[in-house]
Amino acid sequence: MPEPKTIGILGAGRVGTALARLALAAGYEVRVATARPGAEIALLLEIMAPGARPDTAEALVAASDIVILALPLSKYRSLRSEQLAGKVVIDVMNYWAPTDGTILEFEGEASSSEVVQRHLAGARLVRSFNHLGYHEIEQRSRPSGDPERRALALAGNDAQARAVVAGFIDRLGYDPVDAGPLSASRRFGVGTPLFGADFGHAEMAGLLSGGQALEGVE
C-alpha cells in the first residue's frame, strides 16, 4: 500500500483532537468530522487542532488513507459500514460501563473492537491507542531510538492493515507491537495490566506473547 498521507478523525473530543495535533506535527494532512456540519466545528479546530480541516464524515472517509474512530463507543452504530468498506480504520474507543451505562453487546467475551468489526464488516479494522490516556498522547511521543520511547499494541484481522497502522504509530512517536488478530485486543483492553501502563517494546512484546493472564473486562 502507498504511504498514508491523509488522516481522517471521526470525533473532536480530547482523544480526537490530541491525535489530530500529533498527526499534524508528524506531517500528515488531517481532517476531522463530527455529527455536526464542518462549519460548526471550524472554530473548535482552530483552537484545539490548528491546521486540521473540518469536514463532513462522508467527505472525510472518501479522502482519508486512515480513518480513526474517536467518538463515544455508544455511537458506533451511527457509522455507515458501506462508507468504511475497504478502509484502514483505527478503533481507539473503549467501553466504560460506569460512564456509558451498561451496554449488553459489550458485556460478552468479545472485545469491543470485535463488536465494532461485526458492524463494520468490510472495514480493515485495527485496535490501538485505546490503552493510552488522552493526556499522554502528545506528552509521551518520542523519536525513534529514544530509550524512553513507549510501546503501543495493535491488533487486527488484516495483516496489511496492521502494517500500515504500525507505520503510522511509529511516525507518531511510539514503538508498535503487533499483537496479531483482533481477538488479541482483549489482552490490552480496560482492566488488563497493559491498559494505561508504560512499557517499552521488548517488555510489552513479552507480555503479549508470554501467556500471562492479561485478559480484562471491556
pLDDT confidence of residue 217: 38
Instruction: Please check whether residue 217 lies inside any domain of the structure.
Output: no
143-195 residue pLDDT tens: 999 999 999 999 999 999 999 999 999 999 999 999 999 999 999 988 888 99
Q: Which domain holds residue 35?
A: 6-209
Whether the pTM exceeds 0.85: the reply is yes
- Residue by residue, DSSP assigns 137-150 as TTTT---TT-TTPP
Higher pLDDT pick, 171 / 38: 171
Task: Summarize the confidence of residues 39-50 as an average pLDDT.
Answer: 96
Instruction: Please check whether residue 216 lies inside any domain of the structure.
Output: no
**At residue 1, does pLDDT exceed 90?**
no
Number of domains in the chain: 1
CATH code at 51?
A: 3.40.50.720
Find out whether 66 and 164 touch, Cβ atoms under 8 Å.
Answer: yes
pLDDT confidence of residue 153: 97
Instruction: Please check whether residue 50 lies inside any domain of the structure.
Output: yes
